[in-house]
Structure 1
């Protein structure tokens, strides 16, 4: 069997293992005009919702309610918003800001800012840097068929931050690369965990956000129009996970997902010509 045929067979087998469901998101609120580009959101144990915006916006995190109203804003000290793309939180209440947006795959200053639980109670919280690089990337930028190193999604699990890259390859391969780094201040070469084929549509299948359920049993990977729910995995190997595809039937620029509880997701989109700047909810089985 030649290489092209083998790749096609692997994609077909992976695709056959996926179940697709068509749903409609429940609209909760519209964000104020001040929050046009929400790129990440996270929920604390006591139900507080924090959001960030991406490149070109302030070095701030914002606490909002389910009506979309801003209740609090905190400027993060020792942190610069080059391209903040996702938020996550550990079980102790420490917040992590992913400054790893890399549209052109040319950045060499990728960093995750850690804001400890104690700092979160201050008016201008300090942050620690978790700096990292991808061992597979040797050119900045790489060739078009190797544009795997933009990143918009990650989550925390068992002392590690798990990273899912955003695929910009041409021709489009449909894969996300998976890595992890320790959740402690330092400089790291990210540990490569493998790749995962999601789907072959370059407009709808690249990861824009990620989260894991509080019980650790379900991973949600968001893309432009789809949610991929991963189950039946044992970390750090997600390559054999069962994948359920949720078609959201939307053309807005969906950028953020997080678990509100084990069976409820919050989703946010940026404002574009199709609408957006909204907070949504999706409950699944």
Structure 2
């Protein structure tokens, strides 16, 4: 589950003050940091999730084949379904993953697969960092016009069991690169923001060990909420956005599959109560999703985040 652990008394205060946490994060950037985090350009809230099952929304990805459609999912212990929506948050139907279990679904991505374009679901959340293995699921992207109010069931769901070579990690961020490799980034609870890769060829076996690719150069700040909640690769494959509760850090995606800091990013102060998901609508526009909190539904927001200061 991705819910930020704060005392009950703090939450109403945060709402009333317009995300005091985000303001703290902004002020903590400090002159010593090599990162230049600018306000998200043109930031605007475009909608809220109409489906009550998405109160604990966790992750978002635009459809590669159906313009205007966003895919999302619910957090731990939620239904083993993916949900179709749009930037207004309209309910466009849901799709059940046959045989899948939602232990702690945290991210949804899209990428190449043998069937064409697939949706990838990362069941990789692990708050206590004690799961011996986690799961990746993938299905061919469904057609939204075939969905009704009652959830349809997928005809084929692929499942891959994944272990980390260095123990258990809480992972909420995942993206799929142009080669079909799945990239996972740890939340940063205990040992930095660790980057792993699951090669596309791993799906030919039932289980695999993720390949470690290093630790991201983001200053840790758990006490201020700097925990990674999602990541996404741009349509041109050049930039990766790594988001926390109130920031986006941009990285260049290298030919080796590693992430090189762009040293640029965006602040999300005051835009969301509990930011979770990020995806690219184009090579500079991001869509952001937030969980619902304090009885309010989760939100969808848009803005531009560039790797240049111009």
Q: What is the TM-score with the length of structure 1 in the denominator? A: 0.83
Structural RMSD (CA) = 2.4
Structure 1: gaps of 5 or more residues: 1-11, 141-148
1:77 matched to 2:107? The reply is: no
Tell me by how many angstroms 1:260 deviates.
1.0
1:105 matched to 2:109? The reply is: no
Secondary structure of 1:197 counterpart: coil
Aligned-partner Cα distance in 2 for 1:232–1:216? 7
Aligned position for 2:81: 60
Aligned position for 2:24: none
Aligned-partner Cα distance in 2 for 1:276–1:166? 24
Aligned position for 1:256: 277
1:94 matched to 2:124? The reply is: no
Aligned position for 2:12: none
Tell me by how many angstroms 1:182 deviates.
2.3
Aligned-partner Cα distance in 1 for 2:78–2:295? 22
| 1:191-229 Cα distance to aligned partner (Å, 9 max, x none) | 010111312321332210011001001101111101111
Tell me by how many angstroms 1:119 deviates.
9.2
Aligned-partner Cα distance in 2 for 1:117–1:56? 23
* Residue 116 (structure 1) aligned to one of 137, 140, 144: 140
Where relative contact order (Cα < 8 A, 6+ residues apart) is larger, the structure is 2
Aligned-partner Cα distance in 1 for 2:56–2:283? 26
Higher mean C-alpha displacement, 270-279 vs 82-91: 270-279
CA distance 1:135–1:74, shift in 2 (3 Å):
same
Give aligned pairs, total: 258
| 1:30-64 Cα distance to aligned partner (Å, 9 max, x none) | 11233211101111123221110111211111101
Aligned-partner Cα distance in 2 for 1:60–1:118? 12
Tell me by how many angstroms 1:17 deviates.
3.2
1:160 matched to 2:181? The reply is: yes
1:26 matched to 2:50? The reply is: no
8 Å contact from structure 2 (residues 217, 261) kept in 1: no
Tell me by how many angstroms 1:65 deviates.
1.9
Secondary structure of 1:56 counterpart: coil
1:136 matched to 2:154? The reply is: no
CA distance 1:263–1:274, shift in 2 (3 Å):
farther
Tell me by how many angstroms 1:23 deviates.
3.2
Aligned position for 1:51: 72
Q: What is the TM-score with the length of structure 2 in the denominator? A: 0.77
Which aligned runs of 4 or more in structure 1 are off by greater than 3 angstroms?
Answer: 117-122, 232-235, 273-276
Secondary structure of 2:92 counterpart: strand
8 Å contact from structure 1 (residues 233, 242) kept in 2: no
Higher mean C-alpha displacement, 273-282 vs 249-258: 273-282
